[in-house]
Amino acid sequence: MPEDIEELMKKVSLLEIKARRLSLETFSGEYHTTFKGQGLDFEDFREYQHGDEVRFIDWNVTARMRTPHVRTFREERELSVLIAVDISSSGFYTSGDQSKRALAAEIAAVLAFSAKQNGDKIGLLLFTGKTEFYLPPAKGTKHTLRIIREILACEPEDKTTSIANACDFISRTLNRKSLVFLLSDFMDYDFHKKLGIMSMKHETIGIRIYDPVEDELPRVGKVNLLDPETGFQSIVNTNNTNVRMGYEKLNRRRLEALNKTFTKYKIPHISAATGKDYLPALHQIFKK
């Protein structure tokens, strides 16, 4: 077995162990309580009792039994879950030991095992400026492990990001109302309307993956900054106060616009930083 495949399988195994443990010990009950299936499934008939809904009376059974009978139902627990992960080139950035893509993979794995333990179908979308990989929702341990493997192994053909295209794809592809976890750094433009349209069709949760350095430019003198998606390079003096203030102003405006969109369309959202504990943020989503 080639060394790179051995390394990949080792990463899959380690991530599987950690994700299983976290989903079992930390999120299984919260997930089950928070995310419920759509609609009701027929269960049985019983005699009509005072206070029952008249619309649930089954007249055929009533005629046969000669006493009013109503249909009883049970809640449909099964959900269709899609984990959509941005794997554009900006995800490879890291100022420490963990890249944004590695953090996204870990959170996605925890969500996948939590959904599996709840008996839900789980699907995966990996996207950049286009759809890189799509795995329709299904059940089973092998299916869940494949999701983890694909997140870690997929080598994108495109470097750019298009959240709008991803939202369009989801809206077109998922016919049944589903639960969509959207993991991205959201460093993109002109996607807000498409995100809103998708959220009206599917229950959507936004998870912003970021590196702490991206929110606050460090004071480290002159540095050569490279945009991994476009290849554009620029030398920036990070000791310059005006440069730092300008950077922080632009970043603040971007985040304000993103939060405004989440609020407008009532999309629950959290932020998770590389190298930091993301469990409190996930707990926050479940509690909301």
Domain parsing of the chain, residue ranges: 3-34+78-287, 40-75
Asked if residue 128 has pLDDT above 90, the reply is yes
Give the per-residue pLDDT at 75: 54
**How confident is the model over 69-96, as pLDDT tens digits?**
888 765 555 678 999 999 998 887 777 7
Q: How far is CA 36 from the centre of its chain?
A: 16
Q: How confident is the model at residue 258 (pLDDT cuts 50, 70, 90)?
A: very high
Give the per-residue pLDDT at 3: 45
CB 199 within 8 A of CB 82: no
Give the per-residue pLDDT at 1: 35
d(CA 147, CA 139): 11
Q: For the domain 3-34+78-287, what is the CATH superfamily, name and number? A: von Willebrand factor, type A domain (3.40.50.410)
What mean pLDDT is predicted for residues 190-217? 92
What mean pLDDT is predicted for residues 180-193? 95
Burial class (CB in 10 A: 0-12, 13-18, 19+), 265: middle
Nearest partner of 282 among 14, 13, 19, 89, judged by Cα: 19
What mean pLDDT is predicted for residues 168-179? 93
What mean pLDDT is predicted for residues 169-174? 96
Host H or E run for residue 71: strand 69-75
Give the per-residue pLDDT at 256: 95
**How confident is the model over 94-121, as pLDDT tens digits?**
777 888 998 999 899 888 888 888 788 9
Sign of CA dihedral 288, 134, 13, 11: negative
Nearest partner of 135 among 176, 204, 85, 197, judged by Cα: 85
The model carries a pTM of 0.77
Give the per-residue pLDDT at 116: 84
**How confident is the model over 143-159, as pLDDT tens digits?**
988 998 898 889 999 99
